[in-house]
Amino acid sequence: MTQIIETEAATPAYLPSKILNGAAREDALAMMARLISHTKNKTTDQAEATYQEPVENYLDEELFASEIELLFKRIPLPLALTCELPEKNNHKAIEVVGVPVVITRDSQGEVHAMLNVCRHRGALICAAGLGTSRALTCPYHAWSYGMDGQLKGLYGESTFGEFDKSERNMIKLPCVEKHGVIFVCLTPGLEIDIDSWLGSFAPILESLKLAECHLFSTRMMPGPNWKVAIEGYLEGYHFASLHKDTVFKTNLSNTATFDGHGAHERVAFALREIENHLDDPVDTWDPTANVGTINWLFPGLSIAGGWRQRMAVAFPLPTTKVNESLTEQRILVRTPITNDEREQHELEVMRDWFYDVTYDEDYITGFGVQKGVAVTGGKTQIFGRNEPGVQYVHRTINRLMHEGAEAVHGSDTSKAVLPRIVSGQ
């Protein structure tokens, strides 16, 4: 039996990879150059000014309901990864802002998304999580659907009576698979223009080669209000204080680059290894070993360490309550997972480390933030110039909320509850 040697703090190994080539490598080298400059000069990317967000935008229940309707039910949500449904007849069931969804890959390899609801009596068909089956069968009365949502049969059909089966198919949701991510819109009938939605972020997402990855684990994690939860992913200002015994051991604090791409963004942190290469020739640089990227798909898919052999992918989603969220946290690897005991142990260490850091440090602090903003008497949160990623996501939320209100209500947006914005911003 292989002897497992515990590391001092059970910190996951950051294993570099060789996925970067062509334009993606040039982009990564330019990012590393920016981080080397920041490391030398003790600087970081900055926004033009500080930014204030009214605390009511985290608390108002009517605004929260409007966020669900205007954002989460209308934009393409990255609800699954290709590696979660790698084979024909795979499916994934997940509840999203109170909406039960099932995503499938049919016998032809095509992906579909439907409401996870039987058209007989409304029972949920699939249990939450991943599965494989040739049909989706309701546990209540055994109505059976194809992987494309078509009603195929029902128990005791000869005794049930006549009806038009075509009117009782599962309700389909717009769905598209792109660059290793499966996007779903929660409103039936809306179209997904994924190329326009991704825009300039598409080459970045493509360069991660997520479709070639393998899923090791999935865990669900409770959290605070979804906006409180996502803020921690998008800045490294807190590393030295909140993560002094974890993330700060591998990452420099307050040393980052930021790039916005439409609704999406990329924040990159300087790993401590970069301090050993500040004056090395460019042709010897390895960004996969020196740069820690957060590739961020709006409204919250975080792909951490996307250039490395192993990465953490998280998606904080609202529940049906303004002060709650639920995060799906996954560990991916670039090579097929084996039964090697050492590899299994290392992946388990990584899985547990990311969960513990995110929940015990970020989210527990976030629950405190949730309480704190509730008693500040209508004041504002303030985000520094050194937190451009957080500023950007709030500006994006506010912009898309207004655009969504116009799409739904036309020019009369007074019918929608919209975020409060500090004057002059």
Query: Strand runs (DSSP E) across 199-290, as ranges?
Result: 214-223, 251-261, 264-271
Say whether both 202 and 252 belong to one domain: yes
* Residue 320 belongs to domain with CATH number: 3.90.380.10
**E strand or H helix at 186:** none
* Residue 181 belongs to domain with CATH number: 2.102.10.10
Does 265 reside within a domain?
A: yes
Does 121 reside within a domain?
A: yes
Cβ atoms of 273 and 20 closer than 8 Å: no
Which of 156, 176, 191 terminates a domain? The answer is 191
pLDDT at 3: 39
Confidence of residue 303 (pLDDT cuts 50, 70, 90): very high
Say whether both 166 and 145 belong to one domain: yes
Does 138 reside within a domain?
A: yes
Cβ atoms of 325 and 225 closer than 8 Å: yes
pLDDT at 146: 98
pLDDT at 7: 40
Say whether both 257 and 374 belong to one domain: yes
Does 39 reside within a domain?
A: yes
pLDDT in tens, 119-178: 999 999 999 999 999 999 999 999 999 999 999 999 999 999 999 999 999 999 999 999
Say whether both 98 and 170 belong to one domain: yes
Does 425 reside within a domain?
A: no
Does 369 reside within a domain?
A: yes
Say whether both 215 and 275 belong to one domain: yes
Does 154 reside within a domain?
A: yes
Say whether both 216 and 175 belong to one domain: no
Say whether both 88 and 51 belong to one domain: no
Does 7 reside within a domain?
A: no
Say whether both 215 and 123 belong to one domain: no
pLDDT at 236: 98
pLDDT at 17: 87
Say whether both 109 and 183 belong to one domain: yes
Say whether both 172 and 251 belong to one domain: no
pLDDT at 203: 97
Say whether both 51 and 183 belong to one domain: no
Which of 148, 171, 191 terminates a domain? The answer is 191
Total of domains in the chain: 2
| % helix, strand, coil for the chain, step of 5 | 35, 25, 40
Nearest to 179, CA basis, from 201, 199, 209: 209
Burial profile 213-252: b = 16 or more Cβ within 10 angstroms, e = fewer: bebbbbbebebbbbbbbbbbbbbbbbbeebbeebbbebbb
Domain containing 157: what range?
A: 83-191
Say whether both 181 and 213 belong to one domain: no
pLDDT in tens, 37-73: 999 999 999 999 999 999 999 999 999 999 999 999 9
Q: How far apart are CA 81 and CA 180, in angstroms?
A: 6
By the 10 Å C-beta count (0-12 exposed, 13-18 middle, 19+ buried), 150 is classed as middle
Which two tokens mark 411? 């020019």
